[in-house]
């Protein structure tokens, strides 16, 4: 329906890397520029996100990795001065097309933020909020079913099953973040964007979240921004390295960490800067 | 990398470093003590204000009353139409029955003034409420008129100083010069008078008076100010004339006479006090009658429910705040119903929807300026627009509320915007992240979280509006409301602050304490509202 006004997308060109031919691509982005006012934050990013894989975005602070992530569910729309250009396709449909409903898009592409941000409501209501506003559940039983399965998938259900009425804020930091993941899952998204989901958590909670991410890969496509290269190495299959607003290198996580082609990538992962 | 510590060392033990440290601590202490001082000054001033109000106002919380036995004669009061009887006469007879010795109409008329003029209506209302009382002798407490109420409470004295301080001083100077003497129980002034032979032959009072006054004035020749001729008795000239006539043969040209001085200075000379009856009271006799009532135990001073139940009255002993209270309440209601939704809507639009451009900046500046506009200007606006242009009635709570709403709006908008701003952006992101639309983000998440702040701002705005006087005066909301039977948005009304203004302007002594008491009630009202604001904030505040 929107194919007419999309420019033809080139083949992936990132320095000799290519996905396996049979791998379905969930999100294709081409030539994505983002600027905040006069300041350009992203320069012509071309990046493909394969379905049911975890893609890690790494890079030093201010490199544009979070900006890119927020383009994928159009969270940059709420910033008055942000301007996005280029093509981002979800399953072949340009998400910046006028006919795209942002509300539906954000239900299909869930997001988990850096700081756990549960609503100051009960645990149940936190998870049920998305399905409620989108009318996903037809009745109360169905809604409860969604809440329970979401909490189960987020690995939180056993810990909170007796106190679903308690405030989401009463949970510990790690639990809060898993609640936020459950909340994102509850709208039945296809993609989950994670913006440094473990940076505010202690190592044990981080380990739990990382395990969870690996499990979630079965059902969802995951894009994760992280500052921790170990984390990127542990949870992702593909890694993109951003620097100063440019996508410098993209490839197999293993390849990036063991044998980066670009000097800047090498410097970054060996700790020379960042 | 270079090692900073090897190049630049800082000696913490040097006297320079020590004095720097102690200077820093001194400044810490100074900052702290300045704050403490400021708080002490503020609390002290508030304390002085409240104490003075309480001291003046506490007497208004009681009303002095006399207990009367009234026989409700069925011949005079119709049980079926109890409103038609002459309660004035009933009260009059019941009261005067205590003083059978009074025969003259004039004395009776003076005596009845001890009772409040409103006493008859209190009796009437009582009988109309309970018509079955007709035929019985009932005992009622009826309020006293203002001078006696104030006398019983010790606010006004029986007698007041008759002489100003400078007059007393002029007399004292005469006394110190030994010119004042006492003979046969009255005081005399020694005066040396030079009398010419012509007057000696024919001592007429006119010229004599001139001579006497001149001689008297010479006593004060060295002093500034007016000569206080009133020290001399009115009879002085007559006495002088008689003296000259008697002493026709006196040879010398200087006559030493002792002239009587006026009674008030006579009293000052002999008793050291110069007092007169407080002019609020008609005569000593009435005071004696009042004393008789007190000794018979008929006077009591119970808690004044009238202050809260009654409406305004010309008689301070009957005046109450009910009318002002209902007027204020209605005006505040209108003010709230308009300013709360309009203020929140405006703030939500400006904060959540309005694009950040010159125009929205312009609106923001204007709203902030609006908050600083003097309230009297809003009153003028209300007068011109609501009453003048839209033709709304004067003095009514609807217009008062509209004007107060205009005044409260900027406060509510500013505080609501601050409350919306203080909602953490993570909550907006969380809601947007699950696909909430703009209105869902605002209505489901941001507004509920901002509500404590919004309510606090609203209540503080309303409390301001409650104490506002000037705009209400301009739209005439200081009507005289003697009853609260007609209370409505379109009925003339008064409000608490304007009632205070009106009472404060009244000459009767009783209104002085009534004014202070009304201020205390208003402050109580405000404190209650602010406590409510604190309570709401604490109850609904989300802890993070």
Q: What residues of chain B, 336 to 355, have a C-beta less than 8 Å from chain A?
A: 355
In this structure, are B153 and B289 located in the same domain? yes
Q: What's the pLDDT score for residue B415? A: 93
The answer to the question of residue A273 being in a domain is: no
Which residue is associated with the tokens 């983000």?
B441
The residue among B132 and B31 whose pLDDT is bigger is B31
- Residue among B435, B444, B449 with most chain A CBs within 10 A, to mutate: B435
Number of domains in chain A: 1
The answer to the question of residue A186 being in a domain is: no
Which residue is associated with the tokens 């720097």?
B20
pLDDT of B15 > 80? The answer is yes
Distance from CA of B345 to the nearest CA of A (A): 20
Strands B186-194 and B254-260: antiparallel
Distance from CA of A213 to the nearest CA of B (A): 18
Cα distances (Å, whole numbers) of residue B383 to B185, B396, B446, B470, B488: 69, 12, 38, 12, 20
Q: What's the pLDDT score for residue A13? A: 45
In this structure, are B390 and B528 located in the same domain? yes
**Which of these, B425, A33, A144, A50, lies nearest to B433 by C-alpha position?**
B425
pLDDT in tens, B142-179: 999 999 999 999 889 998 888 888 888 888 888 888 88
The answer to the question of residue A162 being in a domain is: no
Of B424, B435, B444, the CB nearest to A106: B435
Is A133 in Cβ contact with B440 (below 8 Å)? Answer: yes
Number of domains in chain B: 3
Q: What is the percent of chain B with per-residue pLDDT over 70, rounded to a whole number?
A: 97
Of B426, B432, B444, the CB nearest to A115: B426
Mean pLDDT of chain B: 89
The full DSSP string for A154-174 is: TT-HHHHTT-TTSBGGGS-HH
Is A120 in Cβ contact with B355 (below 8 Å)? Answer: no
Domain with residue B419: its CATH number is 1.10.3720.10
Contacting residues for A115 by C-beta, under 8 A, at least 6 apart: A200, B426
The residue among B78 and B28 whose pLDDT is bigger is B28
In this structure, are B382 and B250 located in the same domain? no
The answer to the question of residue B38 being in a domain is: no
The answer to the question of residue B121 being in a domain is: yes
Interface residue A197 vs chain B (CB under 8 A): no
- Residue among A106, A109, A150, A177 with most chain B CBs within 10 A, to mutate: A106
The answer to the question of residue A168 being in a domain is: no
Beta bridge partners of A251: A239
The residue among B193 and A186 whose pLDDT is bigger is A186
In this structure, are B264 and B179 located in the same domain? yes
The answer to the question of residue A247 being in a domain is: yes
The answer to the question of residue B486 being in a domain is: yes
Q: What residues of chain B, 440 to 469, have a C-beta less than 8 Å from chain A?
A: 440, 444-445, 449
Mean pLDDT of the B515-541 span: 89
In this structure, are B421 and B484 located in the same domain? yes
In this structure, are B226 and B201 located in the same domain? yes
Q: Give dist(CA B362, CA B369) in Å, integer.
A: 11
Is B435 in Cβ contact with A104 (below 8 Å)? Answer: yes
Q: What's the pLDDT score for residue B169? A: 86
- Residue among B423, B428, B430, B446 with most chain A CBs within 10 A, to mutate: B430
Looking at residue A241, the DSSP 8-state letter turns out to be E
Is A129 in Cβ contact with B444 (below 8 Å)? Answer: yes
pLDDT band at B413 (very low <50, low <70, confident <90, very high): very high
Distance from CA of B445 to the nearest CA of A (A): 8
The answer to the question of residue A184 being in a domain is: no
Tell me, letter by letter, the H, E, C secondary structure of A105-132. Answer: HHHHEEEECCCCCCCCCEHHHHHHHHHH
Q: Residue B498's domain spans which residues?
A: 322-540
Is A133 in Cβ contact with B434 (below 8 Å)? Answer: yes
Q: What's the pLDDT score for residue B498? A: 94
Is B430 in Cβ contact with A110 (below 8 Å)? Answer: no
The C-alpha angle B431, B433, B436, rounded to 5 degrees, equals 50
pLDDT of B444 > 80? The answer is yes
Distance from CA of A13 to the nearest CA of B (A): 31
Mean pLDDT of the B443-453 span: 92
In this structure, are B291 and B423 located in the same domain? no
Of A80, A102, A183, the CB nearest to B434: A183
Report pTM: 0.80
Interface residue B437 vs chain A (CB under 8 A): yes
In this structure, are B331 and B439 located in the same domain? yes
Q: What's the pLDDT score for residue A9? A: 40
Q: Enumerate the residues of chain B whose CB falls inside 8 A of the CB of residue A103.
A: 435-437
The answer to the question of residue B25 being in a domain is: no
- Residue among A79, A133, A136 with most chain B CBs within 10 A, to mutate: A133
In this structure, are B127 and B220 located in the same domain? no
Interface residue A111 vs chain B (CB under 8 A): yes
Mean pLDDT of the B202-225 span: 84
Mean pLDDT of the B501-511 span: 91
In this structure, are B519 and B444 located in the same domain? yes
Q: What's the pLDDT score for residue A274? A: 56
Tell whether the torsion through CA atoms of A216, A217, A222 and A225 is positive or negative. Answer: positive
Task: Find out whether A4 and A94 touch, Cβ atoms under 8 Å.
Answer: no
Q: Which two tokens stand for residue B27?
A: 């400044």
B390-424 burial, b if ≥16 CB within 10 A, otherwise e? Answer: eebeebbbbbbbbbbbbbbbbbbbbbbbebbeebe
Q: Enumerate the residues of chain B whose CB falls inside 8 A of the CB of residue A197.
A: none
The answer to the question of residue A213 being in a domain is: yes
Q: What's the pLDDT score for residue A8? A: 42
Q: Enumerate the residues of chain B whose CB falls inside 8 A of the CB of residue A184.
A: 433-434
Q: Which two tokens stand for residue B420?
A: 């919306």
pLDDT band at B483 (very low <50, low <70, confident <90, very high): confident
**Which of these, B271, B255, B265, B256, lies nearest to B174 by C-alpha position?**
B265
Distance from CA of B415 to the nearest CA of A (A): 22
Q: What's the pLDDT score for residue B4? A: 55
* Residues in chain A where the model's pLDDT stays below 50: 1-13
In this structure, are B150 and B207 located in the same domain? no
Q: What residues of chain B, 406 to 435, have a C-beta less than 8 Å from chain A?
A: 424, 426-435
Q: What's the pLDDT score for residue B450? A: 92
Task: Find out whether A259 and A14 touch, Cβ atoms under 8 Å.
Answer: no
The answer to the question of residue A253 being in a domain is: yes
Interface TM-score (ipTM) > 0.95: no
Cα distances (Å, whole numbers) of residue B202 to A211, B245, B493: 135, 9, 73
Q: What's the pLDDT score for residue B23? A: 94
Domain with residue A223: its CATH number is 3.40.50.300
In this structure, are B366 and B476 located in the same domain? yes
Q: Count of CB atoms within 10 A of residue B9's CB? A: 8
pLDDT band at B280 (very low <50, low <70, confident <90, very high): confident
Q: What's the pLDDT score for residue B336? A: 95
The answer to the question of residue B28 being in a domain is: no
């Amino acid at each position: 329906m929107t194919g007419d006004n999309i420019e033809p997308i080139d083949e992936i060109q990132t320095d000799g890397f290519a996905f396996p031919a049979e791998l379905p691509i969930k999100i294709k982005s081409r030539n994505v520029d983002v600027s905040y006012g006069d300041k350009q934050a992203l320069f012509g990013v071309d990046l493909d996100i394969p379905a049911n894989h975890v893609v890690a975005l790494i890079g030093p602070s201010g490199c544009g990795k979070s900006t890119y992530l927020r383009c994928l569910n159009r969270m940059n729309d709420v910033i008055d001065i942000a301007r996005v250009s280029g093509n981002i396709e979800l399953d072949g449909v340009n998400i910046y097309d006028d006919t795209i409903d942002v509300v539906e898009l954000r239900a299909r592409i869930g997001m988990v933020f850096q700081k756990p941000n549960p609503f100051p409501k009960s645990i149940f209501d936190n998870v049920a909020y998305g399905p409620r506003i989108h009318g996903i559940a037809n009745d109360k039983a169905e809604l409860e079913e969604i809440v329970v399965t979401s909490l189960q998938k987020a690995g939180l259900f056993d810990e909170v099953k007796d106190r679903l009425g308690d405030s989401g804020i009463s949970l510990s930091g790690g639990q809060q973040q898993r609640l936020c993941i459950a909340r994102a899952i509850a709208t039945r998204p296809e993609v989950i964007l994670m913006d440094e989901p473990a940076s505010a958590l202690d190592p044990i909670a981080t380990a739990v979240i990382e395990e969870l991410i690996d499990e979630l890969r079965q059902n969802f496509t995951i894009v994760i921004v992280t500052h921790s290269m170990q984390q990127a190495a542990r949870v992702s299959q593909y890694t993109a390295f951003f620097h100063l607003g440019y996508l410098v290198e993209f490839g197999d996580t293993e390849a990036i960490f063991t044998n980066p082609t670009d000097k800047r990538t090498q410097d970054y992962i060996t700790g020379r800067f960042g | 990398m270079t090692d900073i510590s090897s190049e630049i060392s800082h000696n913490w033990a040097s006297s320079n470093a020590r004095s720097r440290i102690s200077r820093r601590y001194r400044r810490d202490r100074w900052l702290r003590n300045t704050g403490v001082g400021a708080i002490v000054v503020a609390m002290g001033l508030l304390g002085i204000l409240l104490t003075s109000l309480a001291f003046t106002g506490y007497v208004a919380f009681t009303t002095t009353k006399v207990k009367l036995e009234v026989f409700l004669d069925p011949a005079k009061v119709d049980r079926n139409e109890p409103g038609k009887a002459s309660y004035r006469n009933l009260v009059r007879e019941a009261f005067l029955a205590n003083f059978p010795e009074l025969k003259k109409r004039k004395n009776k008329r003076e005596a009845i003034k001890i009772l409040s003029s409103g006493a008859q209506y209190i009796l009437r209302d009582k009988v109309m409420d309970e018509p079955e009382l007709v035929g019985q002798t009932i005992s009622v407490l009826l309020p006293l008129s203002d001078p006696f109420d104030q006398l019983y409470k010790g606010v006004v004295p029986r007698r007041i100083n008759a002489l100003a301080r400078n007059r007393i001083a002029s007399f004292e100077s005469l006394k110190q010069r030994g010119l004042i003497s006492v003979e046969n129980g009255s005081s005399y002034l020694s005066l040396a008078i030079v009398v010419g032979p012509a007057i000696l032959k024919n001592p007429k009072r006119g010229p004599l008076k001139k001579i006497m006054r001149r001689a008297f004035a010479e006593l004060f020749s060295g002093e500034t100010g007016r000569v206080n001729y009133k020290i001399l008795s009115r009879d002085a000239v007559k006495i002088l004339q008689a003296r000259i006539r008697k002493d026709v043969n006196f040879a010398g040209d200087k006559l030493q006479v002792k002239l009587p001085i006026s009674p008030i200075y006579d009293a000052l000379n002999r008793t050291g006090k110069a007092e007169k009856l407080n002019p609020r009271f008609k005569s000593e006799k009435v005071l004696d009658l009042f004393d008789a009532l007190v000794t018979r135990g008929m006077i009591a001073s119970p808690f004044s429910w009238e202050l809260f139940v009654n409406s305004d009255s010309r008689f301070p002993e009957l005046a109450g705040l009910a009318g002002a209270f209902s007027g204020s309440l209605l005006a505040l209601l209108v003010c709230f119903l308009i300013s709360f939704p309009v203020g929140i809507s405006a703030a939500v639009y400006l904060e959540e929807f309005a694009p950040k451009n010159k125009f929205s900046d312009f609106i923001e500046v204007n709203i902030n300026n609006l908050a600083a506009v003097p309230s009297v200007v809003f009153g003028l606006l209300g007068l011109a627009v609501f009453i003048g242009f839209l033709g709304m009635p004067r003095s009514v709570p609807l217009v008062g509320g509209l004007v107060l709403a205009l005044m409260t709006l900027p406060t509510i908008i500013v505080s609501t915007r601050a409350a919306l701003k203080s909602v953490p952006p993570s909550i907006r992101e969380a809601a947007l992240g699950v696909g909430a639309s703009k209105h869902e983000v605002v209505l489901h998440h941001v507004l509920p979280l901002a509500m404590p702040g919004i309510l606090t701002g609203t209540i503080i705005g309303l409390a301001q509006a409650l104490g506002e006087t000037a705009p209400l005066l301009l739209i005439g909301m200081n009507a005289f409301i003697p009853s609260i039977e007609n209370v409505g948005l379109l009925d003339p009304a008064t409000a608490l602050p304007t009632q205070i203004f009106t009472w404060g302007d009244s000459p009767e002594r009783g209104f002085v304490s009534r004014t202070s008491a009304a201020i205390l009630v208003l402050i109580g009202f405000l404190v209650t509202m602010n406590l409510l604001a604190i309570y709401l904030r604490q109850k609904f505040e989300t802890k993070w």
